[in-house]
A and B are shown apart, each in its own frame.
Chain A
């Protein structure tokens, strides 16, 4: 028997603040072509600390940073290297985490669980993906048994192909619907930027270019404000001849980093940190890898079931738009209209981009900022699909909610 006598109450966990770098286009002409991935994370961590001077750096108990490809400048246990490079006290530990696209989301749920359990008071969680320096699947070595034993179809490892598979499964989710959703994403994003809703959470990043000299990234590079339905309709379908999935109705290949501060609610109060969201619950569920995009459906079902909420309790949805069809499959399942204003009100990854492991905290940061604007909304949901067939959902409560129980 343990001699431990102290009780172990669970603690509420709050999302204090989130920031991100502007997202860039991956590749040799992208804004971050000559900028290191770890430097992007360092900027994010330093900005979080600058924006929250009430948080003494030594009170950070963990730094969890996600990356899908953990080699080179995303290797060497990036949570620890970034913490050291950011100038956090050496007593602050860090680690690297990977659940592909849901990396940062998992960094949040994992550290939040540690806070709830009482192992940490404050944590920094985030993610980075420099897809220019680390193309998807770099260095991967899938076990041949996957194919010899037909554990997965070959298409399961090609994300665009899994999206085509989703169109097969749900034939009523047509390319036209996907393109219309994509157009709305671009338009909603542009409007949010114009309204100043997107922008304040961005961390300017000095960008090196040997050819052009230093620059400063202050805005997202991927959005295509001139997008039209006609233009979208004319795009090629690279994953299948005469298919559905195009560069226009999917997220691109991007570079970027995100991060947030999580704290026990009582510690946040003690330190004078404001809570942007309160964690309600989360769920991760696996699905067939060939249709990984459907993952958020069962993960959301699980999160709702475990928190005792229903889909009708959710007032705002921040869904990662890896592919339009994959969001449509979610909405279709829950009976939500394609253009429901509660869903991705500021646009999504189709416009802003999706630097794999970083995106989860972008969703949360955005939801938190929407909560502040919307005291009428009590609950919000962040969800995303994950390669090799998984879904991830985190449900949050709005501390600014003005309603009554």
Chain B
């Protein structure tokens, strides 16, 4: 492969040493994979790394006397984490993509076909191509603290350097489906070493303190015949059932909208023919085809763009002020003791480990809120997530008070009271009378104006929005809202707190419903209005399936809760009456106290009969078109209004706050590649090549 393709590759060098091991007559050729950086930059394989491994194997083949075994291990704490994806943007042709696939296969296969026994000593994390390298070896040891995973399907790829063929042949198809497909689609769940060994991925587990010494000793034992390696028999009759299960997982998690997941299942299916000789050649050729197609596809580029946003932009929020301006937060007040407020109290105490005081209007509510937090802490302790000492500490830090006087020495007070501007204004006025002038006042409002909330205060510059998403413990996004008069110190403190809470913060302007709720409300509004004009609920609710969103529109409505959805919709209607309607059906749901349009799966609640009684029904395709065009329009307007710094922040919000999938690039990549953004706004959101194939 031309070196120009991966000009900036951090090359993982394969370094060979010939070791004398006690109890072994010959030598073991030990290959160390090391990219010259510490563990924060794990070793990966680009063309240079593969060439280095190839050269190392050449050298070993030429070495006399021939070693008794070849072993591969990693630099401290890391085995190898797979292909170097940083070079993918430069892969522009199918030929280049195929060469990348074939080179990995060719080099790794040298280990599988080696006449000399081969060992992988998996000393640390082994992902993707790293794990595939290990699977090509005759035997594997693993450090007890290591983890392994195939993140490819999570990224929209396939484990295409032999992984889809070798893993099922080693551990059986059902476990392979779990590792390759199910885990990857469950937030990229990794497999810890002990479990990897139970599955048969590794033959022996050793503690890290003397992992390499024990691995070499074990290898010597295997070579001498004094250590027996037993592996479970692979059940060849299990294929059909497991593949069916894999298809169901992919359909459930992606609606088959991610080509990588679909291709991975096809490849796993093919592995039923085993990995001997011609069968393996055929299997790896199929992997080459899949990788070639996927590497030159827009959804993969969108995934890599998403991955980059989540891993880089989310950690360095655009527009955030200098970190040095942040003030210390040593005590937190929470106004309100309802479920949202209690969730916030739990999050603050767990992550900040500072006193958290809950207040509310009556003692019973306060007590209930505090008891809920204490109960959640107990549950965490019962699950082993908190030590007894930590439980005591955190429990003691959470208290309740009827009087806001308890906030006197707080550095941050967040309110989560009823969504009514006047109520919130009054709360902030009462708090301001007690706290220091520097105390940050934060609101968790989902749709009210933060600027108006601050308008009557003596120090409006200390007010900021911290918009969390429900469930607070799970969703990683916080929209940090800069109101008109919010000062940099307040904003910096908000970002610092967000980071300390282990959330990803995105800076947003004080615009109605900020980013996530604005887009979800607009989108949901289009679907509900389609229903009101006569589209059957079932048609409308399934119309977005081809995008592979994590839930259908009406499932989303149930998650958000119709009252919250109605509140936001009303607020948006006030702000933008032309684009945001308040559906009658939604009002009816709230009036009737319904949490879902369905009374049971697939059956519209009889009490809501007639919500789709209009006379101009749309097809699913028309609903989808309307919904995605509405999204494009709304994003265009948000960018014009300066709600975010760039469209990347909209995407980051949808990825982290709504769980929208990587292959849509949040959403802008999808809108660009389907031509919707150009049709609606006259231009793409992102230039070609950023979240799509280059021009």
Residue of B nearest to A39 (CB): B209
B76: Cβ under 8 A from any A Cβ: yes
Q: Evaluate contact between B209 and A46: CB separation under 8 angstroms.
A: yes
Beta-carbon contact of B22 and A214 below 8 Å = no
- A205 interface residue, CB < 8 Å from B? yes
Contact A216 B19 (CB under 8 A): yes
Contact A46 B15 (CB under 8 A): no
Q: Are A216 and B15 in contact, with the CB atoms below 8 A? A: no
In the complex, which residues of chain B have a beta carbon less than 8 angstroms from the beta carbon of A87? 207, 209
Interface residue? A204 (CB, 8 A): yes
B641 CB-CB contact with A under 8 Å: no
- Per-residue CB contact flags for chain A residues 203-235 toward chain B (1 = under 8 Å, else 0) read 011101011111110110000000000000000
Q: Is the interface of A mostly helix, strand, loop or mixed?
A: loop
Q: Which of B16, B17, B34, B213 contacts A43 (CB 8 A)?
A: B213
Is B212's CB under 8 angstroms from A213's CB? no
The reply to whether A215 and B209 contact each other, CB–CB distance below 8 Å, is: no
Give the residues in chain B near A212, CB-CB below 8 Å: 15, 17, 32
Q: Known contacts A212-B17, A213-B31, A214-B17: does B209 contact A205 (CB below 8 Å)?
A: no
> Are A218 and B209 interface neighbours, CB within 8 A?
no
**Which positions 22-44 of chain B face chain A at CB distance < 8 Å?**
22, 30-32, 34, 36
Q: Which residues of A contact B207 (CB under 8 A)?
A: 87
Q: Pick from B16, B22, B34, B216: contact of A210, CB below 8 A.
A: B34
Q: Which of A86, A205, A210 contacts B36 (CB 8 A)?
A: A210
Q: Are A46 and B17 in contact (CB under 8 A)?
A: no
Contacts of B500 on A, CB cut-off 8 Å?
A: none
A85 interfacial contact with B, CB 8 Å:
yes
Judged by a CB distance under 8 angstroms, whether A325 is at the interface is no
Chain B positions near chain A (C-beta within 8 angstroms): 15-17, 19-22, 30-32, 34, 36, 73, 75-76, 207, 209-213, 216-217
- Chain A neighbourhood of B73, CB < 8 A: 214
- A105 interface residue, CB < 8 Å from B? no
Q: Is the CB of B32 within 8 A of A43?
A: no
Q: Which residues of B contact A219 (CB under 8 A)?
A: 20
Selected from A208, A210, A216, the residue in CB contact (under 8 A) with B21 is A216
Q: Enumerate the 10 nearest inter-chain pairs by beta-carbon distance, A residue then B residue, closest first.
A: A213-B32, A213-B15, A206-B212, A216-B19, A214-B32, A206-B213, A204-B213, A213-B17, A215-B17, A46-B210
- Nearest residue in B to A216 (C-beta to C-beta)? B19
8 Å CB interface, A262-298 against B: none
Nearest residue, chain A, Cβ from B216: A216
Q: Check A85–B209 contact: CB distance below 8 A.
A: yes
User: Which residues between 44 and 103 of chain A lie within 8 Å of chain B, taking CB atoms?
Assistant: 46, 85-87
A205 and B214 CA atoms in complex are apart in Å by 10
A43 touches B30 (CB 8 A): no
Chain B nearest CB: distance from A22 CB in Å? Answer: 11
- 16 further A-B pairs in the complex, CB-CB below 8 A; given A46-B209, A214-B32: A42-B209, A85-B209, A87-B207, A204-B216, A206-B213, A210-B36, A212-B15, A213-B16, A214-B73, A214-B212, A215-B19, A215-B30, A216-B19, A216-B20, A216-B21, A216-B30
Q: Which residues of B contact A85 (CB under 8 A)?
A: 209
CB distance from A229 to the nearest CB of B (A): 31
Task: For residue A339, give the distance in angstroms from its CB to the closest CB of chain B.
Answer: 32
A210 to B36, CA, bound (A): 7
Residues from chain B with Cβ under 8 Å of A42 in the complex: 209-210
| Measured CA separation A87–B19 after assembly (Å) | 27
* Distance of A218 from chain B, by nearest CB (Å): 6
Evaluate contact between A218 and B22: CB separation under 8 angstroms.
yes
Q: Provide the bound-state CA to CA distance between A86 and B207, in Å.
A: 10
- Identify the interface centre among A214, A215, A218: most chain B CB within 10 Å of its CB: A214
Measured between beta carbons, the chain B residues less than 8 angstroms from A213 are 15-17, 30-32, 34
Central interface residue in A43, A208, A213, by most chain B CB within 10 Å: A213
Give the docked Cα–Cα distance between A215 and B21 (Å): 10
Contacts of A211 on B, CB cut-off 8 Å? 15
Complexed CA–CA distance, A367 and B433 (Å) = 81
Complex alpha-carbon distance, A204 and B211, angstroms: 12
In the complex, A373 Cα to B19 Cα: how many Å? Answer: 31
Instruction: List residues of chain A with CB within 8 A of the CB of B20.
Output: 216, 218-219
Q: Please measure, in the bound complex, the distance between the C-alpha atom of A64 and the C-alpha atom of B254, giving whole angstroms.
A: 59
Of the listed residues A42, A46, A204, the one surrounded by the most CB atoms of chain B closer than 10 A to its CB is: A204
Bound together, the chains give a CA A204 to CA B17 distance in angstroms of 16
Kindly state the separation between the CA atoms of A212 and B13 in the bound complex, as whole angstroms: 10
How many Å from the CB of A66 to the closest CB on chain B? 21
Docked Cα-Cα span, A216 to B22, in Å, equals: 10
A-B contact pairs, 9 of them (CB 8 A): A43-B213, A85-B209, A205-B213, A206-B213, A206-B216, A213-B16, A214-B30, A215-B17, A215-B19
**With a CB–CB cut-off of 8 A, which chain B residues contact A210?**
34, 36, 75
Q: How far, in whole Å, are A42 and B30 apart by their CA atoms in the complex?
A: 23
Report chain B residues within 8 Å CB of A214.
Answer: 17, 30, 32, 73, 212
Inter-chain contacts of B36 with A (CB < 8 A): 210
Task: Please indicate the chain B residues that have their CB under 8 angstroms from the CB of A206 in the complex.
Answer: 210-213, 216
- Give the shortest distance, in Å, between B18 (CB) and chain A (any CB): 9
Q: Return the chain B residue nearest A215 by Cβ.
A: B17
B21: which A residues are within 8 A, CB to CB? 204, 216, 218
B30 cross-chain contacts in A, Cβ below 8 A: 213-216
Is A43 a contact of B31 with CB atoms below 8 Å? Answer: no
Residue of A nearest to B71 (CB): A214
Measured CB to CB, the closest approach of chain A to B140, in angstroms, equals: 17
In the complex the two chains form, what is the Cα distance from A46 to B22 in whole Å?
A: 17
> What is the CA–CA distance of A208 and B34 in the complex, to the nearest angstrom?
11
A208 & B76 in contact (Cβ 8 Å cutoff): yes
Q: How far is the CA of A213 from the CA of B73 in the complex (A)?
A: 9
List the A side residues contacting B17 at CB < 8 Å. Answer: 212-215
Closest A residue to B123 by beta carbon equals A214
A42 to B214, CA, bound (A): 14
Docked CA distance A210–B73 (Å): 13
A208 to B16, CA, bound (A): 13
Q: How far is A206 from B212 in the complex, measured between Cα atoms in Å? A: 6
CA distance A242 to B52 in the complex (A): 53
